[in-house]
Amino acid sequence: MTLKPTNLNHLAIIMDGNGRWAKDQKLDRLSGHKEGAKSAKKIIQACSNLKIKYLTLYTFSTENWNRPQLEIDSLMALLSSTLNNEIQELERNNIVFNVVGKVEDLPKNIQNIIANTIERTKQNTGLVLSLALSYGGRQEIIDAIKKIGASKKSKIIDEEIVKNHLYCPEIPDPDLIIRTAGEYRLSNFLLWQSAYAELYVSKKNWPDFQEEDLMQALKDFENRNRTFGKLTD
């Protein structure tokens, strides 16, 4: 399939349905997460080819820490191996690696891998790939308020001040948020930033989400009329 550049600047994806995919295939949940990682790789490459500037993937939420410890350990091991195996691919494709979330909550070895990957890709000029890790939208807003209070530099709090104290204020708000597995909710993802994001829901579980599904979502987005609260008449 020939991919054409798009005007979309920031795409965010809630990658849902790994567990359901595995259940449908009569496999264990880890197999679903591994297959989901393969889908993520394909979509990252497609977004890079499409010249999309920012891609944020909801990878591990603050709520995910409540899952069984065996699954958490398996997810951390998968994250570690994936980053180690893909760092050269990120460099080769001119992709900037970034993380949004409470990195300090992750195992120390993964923190080190993240720091190394960020350092090795920071001079790249292509797609900015952000993984939301140990991320929660409410916690991000709480942390922003704490930073503002601690700085004591402003007596008036407005939108710009809050934005500048979010985890990655340099990244623009998402234009489009895709969620897979047919769920119609944000699940604590980019709550502040998604105020005017367009939403697109795919019924496919994340491991089944392919380039053609991405293109369908982007085509749908291109036909949206974004007014940002203004009149169009």
* Known active-site residue 28: no
Residues in the chain: 233
53 contact partners, CB below 8 Å, separation of at least 6: 9, 10, 127, 128
How far is 89 from 41, CA to CA, in rounded Å?
10
* Known active-site residue 16: yes
Contact 160, 192 (CB under 8 A): no
Catalytic residue among 49, 64, 93, 116, which?
64
How far is 172 from 188, CA to CA, in rounded Å?
18
* φ, ψ for residue 17, nearest 5 deg: 110, 10
Tokens of 23: 């259940």
How far is 48 from 35, CA to CA, in rounded Å?
20
Give the catalytic positions in this structure: 16, 64
